[in-house]
Amino acid sequence: MRLPDHIYNALKPLFAQHADWHVARMPEHPHLRGPGTHFPDLQGLNQAGSGDQFLRFHREMVRIFKWVLANTPGPAYPYTPWPRLPDWVANLFESSRPGFLAEAYQETNRLVIEGTADELGNFIEATRLSSHPVRGIHNRTHGTVAAYERQTFGVSNPLLVDAQMDSSRTAPHNEHFWGLHGWIDEVFAEWQRLHDEIVDQSPLDPALGGHGHGGHPHHEVGVVNQPAASVSVDESKIFKPIWEE
């Protein structure tokens, strides 16, 4: 469901380019990334470093989200990252693909200990560099939550307008986006602790963000003043509910 109006209105312009970042990573869109574009350092989904950038880009998003919560007038919005997928999501996974989630958690934990950040991000998101049979808990959760909300609350429910989880353009407006990415960010933080990397999950002023891992274009330095990735993408093929796999 969509975030409370005061949070939604404050947050929406800050992540207006979230979808463009994802589109630019697609292997078939190399012209949308690299020198002279909004994303000069961005790696494609079929390139080494893409998984690492996925984790760090969304870390920045979570930090900016925390800043918005702390600096937006209005009722306080309590934010708690999911410790794991909540029962209502986990049950959908289990009923559709028994054992999938347990194996996905097991592989995630293995990569936290033994893998690189790039390998961890590749597996969680399901970039073109991971071929593990239970890869993609991120993409599958996006699609599963979207389908569940439409079936439960109705497609025309006002609190689903501009907040569908299976669109990278509207997903950041949905409260479950932040639960999911909060869990992923905690997984990444655990990887950092085990590999002696400094963990910074503090609130981040959006005016100070966007200078690495592909970056948010509205804060990027030295980019060409051109439209961002205005490319039509059928995201239903990316964010499928678990029962359609």
C-alpha distance from residue 129 to each of 52, 98, 119 (Å): 12, 25, 8
CB atoms within 10 A of CB 170: 20
Percentage above 90 pLDDT, the chain? 84
Q: Which residues pair with 174 in a beta bridge?
A: 2
Instruction: Write the CB contacts of 48 (distance below 8 Å, at least 6 apart in sequence).
Output: 118, 129
CB atoms within 10 A of CB 77: 16
Domain 5-244 fold is: di-copper center containing domain from catechol oxidase (1.10.1280)
Average pLDDT of the chain to the nearest whole number: 91
Residues 59, 63, 69, 72, CA torsion sign: negative
pLDDT confidence of residue 218: 38
Show the tokens assigned to 22: 């994802």
pLDDT confidence of residue 237: 83
Tell me, what DSSP letter sits at residue 174? B
pLDDT confidence of residue 213: 56
pLDDT confidence of residue 230: 58
**What does the pLDDT average to over 118-130?**
93
Chain position carrying tokens 């690495």: 212
pLDDT confidence of residue 226: 40
Q: Is 225's pLDDT higher than 60?
A: no
Do residues 20 and 217 lie in contact, with contact meaning Cβ atoms separated by under 8 Å? yes
Q: Is 214's pLDDT higher than 70?
A: no
pLDDT confidence of residue 222: 29
Query: How far is 92 from 103, CA to CA, in rounded Å?
Result: 15
| pLDDT tens digits for range 187-199 | 999 999 999 999 9
Confidence class for position 178, pLDDT limits 50, 70, 90? very high
Instruction: Write the CB contacts of 156 (distance below 8 Å, at least 6 apart in sequence).
Output: none
Confidence class for position 215, pLDDT limits 50, 70, 90? low
Q: Where are the beta strands (DSSP E) in 5-148?
A: none
Q: Which residues pair with 2 in a beta bridge?
A: 174
Query: How far is 157 from 153, CA to CA, in rounded Å?
Result: 6
Query: How far is 236 from 239, CA to CA, in rounded Å?
Result: 5
Q: Is 13's pLDDT higher than 50?
A: yes
Tell me, what DSSP letter sits at residue 42? P
